Amino acid sequence: MTERDPVPTQPASSDLPADQPPPVTPWPTSAPGAPAPARRRTPPAAWLVALALAALIGSLLFVSGYLVAGGSSPTGCSAPNETFAAFCDAYSKLKHDYVDPLDDAKLAQGAIQGMFQNGVADPFSGYMTPADYQRALGDLSGKFSGIGAEMAVKNLKNPSDLAACTKLSDICVLVVVSPFAGSPAEQAGLKPGDIVSAVDGVSVNGSTVSDEVAKVRGPSGTKVNLTIGRDKRTFDVAITRAEITTREVESRMIDGHVGYVALHGFSDSVPGQFHDALKQLLSRGATQIIFDLRDNPGGFIVAAQKIASEFIGSGLIFTQQSAGNSITQWKALGGGLATDPKIRVVVLVNNGSASASEIVSAALQETNRATIIGEHTFGKNTVQVWAPLEDGGGVRITISRWFTPEHHSVHPDGVQPTIAVTIPAGTPPEKDLVLDRALAYLATQVVRSGASPSPTVSPAAALPVGALVGWDPGGQQRVFA
């Protein structure tokens, strides 16, 4: 959101403070001390001329007002209806009277942002600038041009307090979480834990993570120079950007029989990545699955349907309710890898699990296919369609709401965990209490033929609706560069 510019103060005269207007000199009507002139009788003909002129001026003002209300202003602003006439009037006055030159592009962007922020009571509908829109489209497609590294903010003073790190500084630093395998970042020698202190020679301090990631990204084949801090050394690394496919799936085996798979988004490429990771875990002997959706902000609902169908063999996954009470049912696709109830499934969630994450976790819970462990989810029950604008930016507009298989809504309370885990303040980030609780729970489960987990809580869950996306870029904690 943008702050409003302060109301400009009137320029001060040489003898007055800035907050007081200069004195107004009255127009002299006669010489000082001279007697007032006698009032003269106006001839009737003059009155008739005056009345005729007043009528003509009034007609012109009326026509002018009509044109402004339904047509174009002198600046070329065309009002779609009378309600927007004041907008064109304000634009005309700004262009004509403002003391400094104005940028029409900035005025237009501000007007669009204001229309969404003040006119639409929905935090998930809004305007995206050209840079934000293109970056978001890259995130959703699962592909972008950059160096191929996962980055995050780290609070060096208090690692558990990331909320304090709204801007980068000497305390809140930009770190490399890990370079992608085979990426330009890996080939250039970047390592997990490296601190990025400058991009192309400009310090990152005072900036935001998203702004710096935008600088690191760029057209394939171009170079970016990063200043890296590692082991008390500081050095520069030149990296040539390339086309990158995001790594949104992580997987590994735990204790020889538990397959762990984490999902960081629901882009176009995720279902294939998730299918391959799950297949590999099962082939390595996994009989229990921990599915980690923590801090996953969501994505395409088609991706959510495909992911849920890996665990749910048939039946309803969610319903979508659009304008005019139009209902669409999204059902399991069949042929999933882990639909066998003998494969125990646990889903990890927290307050950052939103949208498509809530579709999947609610569906697995209500179909008795999984036990949900952690914190309640974000509570987002809407889906947005994204559309480009002529300036290269875009808008996201809420088009529908979604509901769980049992027609619950996740708004505002989110999906409630079957087993709640509270993270005490000051818990070190490397101590994963939720994962520990999931492993302890699975250790108590006895696999029985034909058995399935029994949920203890019915979730208050709402499923994202809409044909395209339910994604909130503000919910991301980690970013790809």
Residues acting as catalytic residues: 355, 366, 380
β-sheet bridge partners, residue 202: 199
CA distances from 477 to 81, 125, 209, 430 (A): 43, 21, 10, 16
Answer positive or negative: Cα dihedral of 296, 298, 299, 301.
positive
CA 81/CA 115 separation, integer angstroms:
15
Residue with tokens 């006698």: 38
Contact 266, 293 (CB under 8 A): no
Beta bridge partners of 259: 253, 289
The CA distances from residue 453 to 343, 382, 400, 408, 447, in Å, are 10, 29, 32, 20, 10
Please report, as a single letter, which amino acid is at residue 303: A
Closest CA to 468 of 411, 398, 410, 377: 398
Q: Which residues lie across from 224 on neighbouring strands?
A: 239
- At 354 the three-state DSSP class reads coil
Give the Cα separation of 367 and 370 in Å (integer): 8
**Contact of 97 with 86, CB cutoff 8 Å:** no
Asked if 264 contacts 213 with a C-beta cutoff of 8 angstroms, the reply is no
The values of phi and psi at residue 240, to 5°, are -90, 125
Alpha-carbon distance values, 458 to 186, 347, 367, 407 (Å)? 45, 15, 10, 11
- Whether 481 and 216 have beta carbons less than 8 Å apart is answered as yes
Neighbours of 178 (CB within 10 A): 19
